[in-house]
Amino acid sequence: MRSATTPALLVRNLHVTRGGKDVLNNLDFQLAAGEVFALLGGNGAGKSTTLLTCIGLLAPSRGEVRVLGRAPSEEPEAVRASLAYLSETATLYEHLSARENLRYFLDLAGKNAGNEALEAALDTVGLQPAARDQRTARFSKGMRQKVAIALAILRETPVLLLDEPTSGLDPVAVDEFNQLLITLRNRGVAVLMVTHDLYGACEVATSIGLLRDGRLVSSFVADTDAQGRHRPLDVEMVRHAFSARTSA
Amino acid sequence: MNLLHCLGREAGLFIRTRSSVAALALLCVLASIAIGLGHAEVQRQEASIERVRALDVTERESALAGAPDFGDAAYAAYHLTWNPPSEMAFTAMGQRDIAPWMLRVRALALEGQIHETDSFNPELSLTGRFDYAFVMAFLLPLFAIVVMYDMVSAEREAGRIPLLVASAGNVRRLWWQRTAVRVLGLLLACLVPMWLGGLIIGTSAGALLTASAIVLVTVLVWTAVILVFSFRPWSSAVIATSLTGVWLTVALILPLGGKVLIDYLEPGIDGAQIALLQRETVNGAWDLPKEATMKPFFVTHPEWADTRPVTEPFHWKWYYAFQQRGDEVAAELSGAYRAAITRRDELTGWVALLSPPVAVQRALQRLAGTDVQASLAYEQRIRIFHEQLRRFYYPFLFNEEPYGLESLKDLPRFE
Amino acid sequence: MSQAMKIAAGEWTHLLRTRLAVLTLGLLFALVAIAAINSSAQLRAEAAERLQYQQQADEAYRAQPDRHPHRMVHYGHYVFRTPAPLAVIDPGVDAFTGRSIFLEGHRRNTAAFSEARETSVLTRFGSVSPAFTLQVLVPLLMILIGFSSVARERERGILLQLLAQGTRGAALVQGKAIALAGVAALALLPLFLSALWLGPQTPTEALPLLALLAGHTVYLAFWVVLIVAVSALAGRARTALIVLIGIWAMLTVLVPRLATDVAATTLPAPNQAEVDIRLQEELRSVGDSHNINDPGFQSFQQQVLAQYGVASIDELPVNYRGLVSLQGEAESSAVMDRLTAEQHSLQRDQAGIVKLFALLSPYIAVRHLSMTSAGTDLRNHQQFLDAAEAHRFALIQGLNTLHAEELDYVDDSARSRDAEAEQRTRVSSEFWTTLQQFDFAGTGAAERVRSALPLLLALFAWLSASALLLRAGARKVQAL
């Protein structure tokens, strides 16, 4: 049973081995509802592995992952029902329209969203009404990403996993995306985000960590103001600290 | 969530994939063409049988009318035997374009007649007919490969697996649902033309159900084979290459290898030897004393032993006795010939265990009554009829009764 | 080294380093070699067997005792077809035609005991011959080896790199085609080797052998060019593979069967039983030559009497019964020949329809070219039947002449009732030893090559069509 103190996502002492190699080494972090944890790191640092382990596509060799108190490797279906996933490439079915994609994936997730909710979500992400019935094959990356985010919104899951959601987006789209993420955060969604974008991360994240060779080598937590709202992190400070850790 | 709803969702996704729908539509069209052509061929054969049966009656009447005695009558009168296409023959032509399905016999030695071949065009036989069994054996697996080979790898190559997993919860169930949709699509494309064809000509539901079961098993076997490969963590191209290799092996290389092996294990008997032996016996009798023929004949036919002995150089009863002897002498070799054919057919059954295309053709031909066994069974029916024919003529010949058309009204009929 | 050759060398290096490609190459070579070996071993055994049967039949005929000549007419004779020398490469329709014919009086039998009738469903899957392997299996294996040749470079972004280095699109596709042509050459090697081995043994077959080699070479060249062209035109390797397999299935599996059904449906052949009944009706008007009083021979009798200037058949210097046999056989043979010619021409027309489909499938073109050159096609089989018929007619009429000239009419008429007369109607067994050897040489080499030439042209047309496609492919590569 989930108690009030159960973290939305708990990663404790996590080790993951792939092809005989430790890709994650003693990873520890947790986040509660309304928190955004941004995980930064170079290629092969283990960022995507962390996400795949949270979905239950990879199993821990040691340690544990809990999503709302449940282990993905033990109760994959219950865990997956409580999280949404957004990938770097926003992988939709190209031969389906935006609306068809949404309906398909929502149905797949066992979610019954009415037409109004669907349109509202598409409004929220800002997809032009004219584009909604077009096949996504010709969509720009930003448009596809909007559909994928709409899907994540519509699923109304307490946990959101993002795999480099802003890579390849134009600056305006990145800004829109970050605002959306803050909205979700304020609604109480717990977000684990893997990203290259330090600026974006500092703007939206409540905490931020640097992953290198499967280890969490550095992390920062954002301050909160009097109302308990998170303040953006200081980019220069984080960058300074990270570059020191990276060159070490 | 109920299964039907899930299948509906996956079917909706599947039918929006243009290439897959085109593949299934093409399969359905090809199956329909095969059914249509099979249907036309069956009708042609039925019409041919009907026409020749009518001709046969008038031809026999004029032959009998012109005969001076029973010996001549039995010599001149041919009797048509026929093997009508079964209600399922439109699905599998099988042996019907290499083994005769109409044969005229007379009361002479049967071994000299029963091996007659029909005038099939060998160049058409070489390729074989475009029948439903061919579509199921060779084309269906290729279409199954096309709609299923990249079911998993395409999702992986598009990077969609995590999203699918996160959405579906249980992705294994999703693969099963997608497999089920593809299997249902393949079955629909194959079975609808067959059922329509069957219902039009009034085939019994039982036979259609059996054929459907054969198609179902074929689809399931190929699905299993394809899934073994498509679940591998390989690229789509490698999976497609491997599956094509598998198809090539089981559809062409294994059957050909099997044939070489069967030729080696069971070379069979050259039928020409039977005809040679029979002919030596029949013709040799002319130069032998009459007793050399009549004595062994009376051993197998003691009922005529007490009739008047043959004293003249030629007498019909002696003539038919050595015809009978010719068959009796050749019987052993002829039996061995058929046994060898049966044995080769059994060995083919073993090849079928390894090769679904061989298996499905055999199964459909068995059901359609167009396989080797059916053609041997027709041969057996001819033998029985021929025996009736002989037994009909013997009393007239051996009792040397005066000829009269009235006596011939009870001539055996082939049914 | 030119650009194209460099690309080709690179492709070969790639193939030899890819496990699947090496496996396929090995399979391809093994199949062609096994087919060649099996086919030649089987054929040699069969040729020896046929020869032995023919000798046995000849000896049995020559060893017949003193007999009435008409007994020999019914005893008859067997002739066996020995396989054509080039059947080693392409057995053609041989498995579906009878291998022996019983020659007897009054009847024109057809060849009986075909292999297909005796064997199982497996014969329908093709033949274990170099021709089938090269025409059907090798193209598919070449597809598996070559489908990704250009598409792979495009997928991995190497295409861009090559073009940036100044490689021309044409040179790239040419190089890939040269590499794949190497694979085709490997597959053709056993055929060329067996040609070197067969050529000196049967010098008359040199020309057809050349046509056969040329046909298969052009055919495989068509596939080489097509495979590279599709690989260049397709966006992705798997698309190329699926499209190529589709084309292969259509050209070698689907169209031939459809062609067969179209031929059989548009020109339905009458059943043998039907033809036999028609024949019998016509023969009844000829008359029964066993019965000299048959109304069919009344005018013949008048004619003979007038010719010899005698009043009755007893006064004839020859045996009238023999004359009737001669006349009856000649008349009935004419009827039978006419009906058979009709049947043969219908079958050739059916084959002609199938051959038209060479416009839809180069496989049909190469298959007919191969069968025609090898002398294992329908036409050759029909010529065998006609040759056997000519042999039969000569044999039977020789016996009927004996019947007319060596036998006494009175004895001959009484032989069924009078045992002594019967003895006197037996002619010496020495006559049987003069049996002529049956020699069937098959269609002449020049004629075979002549009828193969249009098909070779058709294959060149297919090759040109695929070359056009390759040019389009080169342009697409150049444009990325």
Looking at residue C118, its pLDDT comes to 64
Domain-wise residue ranges, chain A: 9-82+158-247, 95-156
Please state, in angstroms and rounded to a whole number, the distance separating the CA atoms of residues B58 and B279.
30
Instruction: Read off φ and ψ for residue B118, nearest 5 degrees.
Output: -80, 165
**Distances B50 to B47, B82, B102, C277 between C-alpha atoms, Å:** 5, 10, 11, 14
Residues 136-175, chain C, touching B (beta carbon < 8 A): 136-137, 140-141, 143-144, 147-148
CA–CA distance, B325 with B111 (Å, rounded to integer): 11
Q: Measured between alpha carbons, how far is C92 from C100 in angstroms, rounded to an integer? A: 17
* Chain B residues lying within 8 Å of C121, measured CB to CB: 94, 348, 358, 361-362, 365, 371-372
Q: What is the pLDDT of residues A51-78, one digit of tens each?
A: 889 988 888 998 999 998 888 888 888 8
Contact check, Cβ <8 Å, B122/C144: no
Q: Report the neighbours of A using a cutoff of 3 or more CB pairs below 8 angstroms.
A: B
Q: Give the pTM.
A: 0.89
pLDDT band of A22, cuts 50, 70, 90: confident
Which residue of A76, A91, A148 is in closest CB contact with B169? Answer: A76
**Which letter, b or e, does each residue of B250-289 get, where b requires 16 or more Cβ atoms within 10 Å of its Cβ?**
bbbbbbbbbbbebbeebebbbbbbbbbbbbebbbbbbeee
B94: its two tokens: 């099988």
Neighbouring subunits of C (3+ Cβ pairs under 8 A): B
Identify from B121, B136, B290 which residue to disrupt to test chain C contact, counting C C-beta atoms within 10 A and taking the largest count: B121
Given a contact cutoff of 8 angstroms between Cβ atoms, the answer to whether B330 and B338 are in contact is no
Q: What is the pLDDT of residue C438?
A: 86
**Nearest residue of chain B to residue A58 (CA atoms):** B162
Cβ count near C40 (within 10 Å): 18
Q: Where are the alpha helices (DSSP H) in C67-150?
A: 69-75, 115-118, 130-132, 138-146
Partners of C114 on chain B (C-beta within 8 Å) are 98, 117, 122
Amino acid (one-letter) located at C21: A
Chains A and B touch (3+ CB pairs under 8 A): yes
CATH 3.40.50.300 fits A9-82+158-247, yes or no: yes
Question: What does the alpha-carbon distance between residue C73 and residue C106 come to, in Å, rounded to a whole number?
Answer: 9
**Segment 368-427 of chain C within 8 Å of chain B by CB:** 377-378, 381, 415-419, 422
Distance CA(C473)–CA(C224), nearest Å, equals 13
Q: What is the pLDDT of residue C120?
A: 64
Can you list the alpha helix ranges (DSSP code H) found in C83-202? 115-118, 130-132, 138-146, 151-155, 158-164, 169-201
How many angstroms from the chain centroid is the CA of residue B254? 21
Do residues B32 and B195 make contact, with C-beta atoms less than 8 angstroms apart? no
The rounded distance, in Å, linking the Cα atoms of B118 and B48 is 13
Question: Is C14 an interface residue toward B (CB < 8 Å)?
Answer: no
Put simply, the chain A residues between 9 and 38 with a CB less than 8 A from any chain B CB are none
**DSSP symbol at B72:** H
Q: Residue B159: list chain A partners with CB under 8 A.
A: 87-89, 91
The Cα C264–Cα C115 span in angstroms is 22
A39 has a chain B CB within 8 A of its CB: no
- Is C18 an interface residue toward B (CB < 8 Å)? no
The pLDDT score that the predictor gives to residue B1 is: 55
**Burial zone of C414 (CB within 10 Å; 0-12 exposed, 13-18 middle, 19+ buried):** middle
Tokens matching residue C260:
């067969």
| Residues of chain B contacting A, Cβ within 8 Å | 1, 5, 9, 12-13, 16-18, 158-170, 174
Say which residue, B146 or C123, is predicted with more confidence: B146
Q: What is the pLDDT of residues C4-37, one digit of tens each?
A: 898 999 899 988 888 888 888 888 888 888 888 8
* Chain C residue with minimum CA distance to B314: C416
Q: What is the pLDDT of residue A92?
A: 87
The residue-averaged pLDDT of C33-43 equals 84
DSSP 3-state of A194 = strand
Chain A residues touching residue B14 (CB < 8 angstroms): none
Question: What's the pLDDT at C46?
Answer: 84
How far apart (Å, rounded) are the C-alpha atoms in residues B91 and B133? Answer: 6
- As given in the structure block, the two tokens for residue B264 are 């080696």
In terms of Cα–Cα distance, which of A111, A95, B170 is closest to A103?
A: A111
Length of chain A equals 248
Give the pLDDT band of residue A245 (cuts 50, 70, 90): low
CB-nearest to C238 from B51, B236, B263 is: B236
Q: Give which of B4, B163, B176 to mutate to test A binding, by max A Cβ within 10 Å.
A: B163
CA distance A194 to chain B (A): 14
Q: How many domains does chain C have?
A: 1
Contact B165 A57 (CB under 8 A): yes
State the average pLDDT over residues B289-305.
88
Instruction: Answer whether C289's CB lies under 8 Å from B70's CB.
Output: no
pLDDT band at B76 (very low <50, low <70, confident <90, very high): confident
Q: Give the tens place of pLDDT for each residue, C322-375.
A: 898 899 899 989 999 999 999 999 999 999 999 999 999 999 999 999 999 999
pLDDT 10s digits, B49-58? 999 999 999 9
Higher-confidence residue of C376 and A89: namely C376
CA–CA dist A122, B186 (Å, integer): 37
Which of B69, B131, B241 to probe by mutation at the C interface, max C CB count within 10 Å?
B241
Residue B228: partners with Cβ closer than 8 Å, 6 or more residues away: none
Q: Give the closest-approach CA distance of B1 to chain C in angstroms.
A: 35
Which positions ≥6 away from C378 have C-beta within 8 Å?
A: B121, B122, B123, C93, C347, C348, C351
Residue C473 to residue C231: CA distance in whole angstroms: 8
- Cα separation of A239 and A233, whole Å? 11
What single string gives the DSSP state of each residue in B261-299? HHHHH-----HHHHHHHHHHHHHHGGGS-HHHHHHHHHH
Q: What's the pLDDT score for residue C34? A: 83
* B182 or A231, greater pLDDT: B182
Distance CA B260, CA B250 (A): 15
Cβ neighbours of A87 in B, within 8 Å: 159-160, 162-163
As a whole number of angstroms, the distance between CA A103 and CA B122 comes to 58
Give the model's pLDDT for residue A1.
42
Q: In what order do the strands lie in the sheet with A62-67?
A: A21-31, A9-18, A62-67
Per-residue confidence (pLDDT) for residue B183, from 0 to 100? 97
Dist CA A162 CA A192 (whole Å): 6
Distances (CA, A) of B159 to A90, B208, B260, C153, C311: 9, 44, 47, 21, 107
How large is the average pLDDT for residues B3-24? 89
Looking at the DSSP bridge assignments, the partners of residue C297 are: none
Domain of C324, in residue numbers: 3-478
- Find the closest chain B residue to A96 by CA distance: B16
Q: For C96, name the nearest residue in chain B, comparing CA atoms only.
A: B122
How many Cβ contacts (< 8 angstroms) between chains A and B? 69
- How many C-beta atoms lie closer than 10 Å to residue C314's C-beta? 10
Please count the residues of chain B: 415
Residue A4 has pLDDT above 80, yes or no: no
Q: Decide: helix, strand or coil at residue A59.
A: coil
CA atoms in the 13 A half-sphere facing the CB of B61: 6
Residues of B in contact with C354 (CB under 8 A): 123-124, 127
**Mean pLDDT score across all residues of chain C:** 88
Both tokens of B411, joined, read 């001539």
pLDDT given for residue A2 in this prediction = 46
**What's the rounded mean pLDDT across residues C232-252?**
89
Alpha helices in chain A, H assignment, sequence order: 47-55, 76-81, 98-108, 115-125, 141-155, 171-186, 198-204, 235-247
Work out the average pLDDT over B99-124.
Answer: 87
Query: A25 in helix, strand or coil?
Result: strand
Hey, CA dihedral for B374, B380, B381, B386, is it positive or negative?
positive
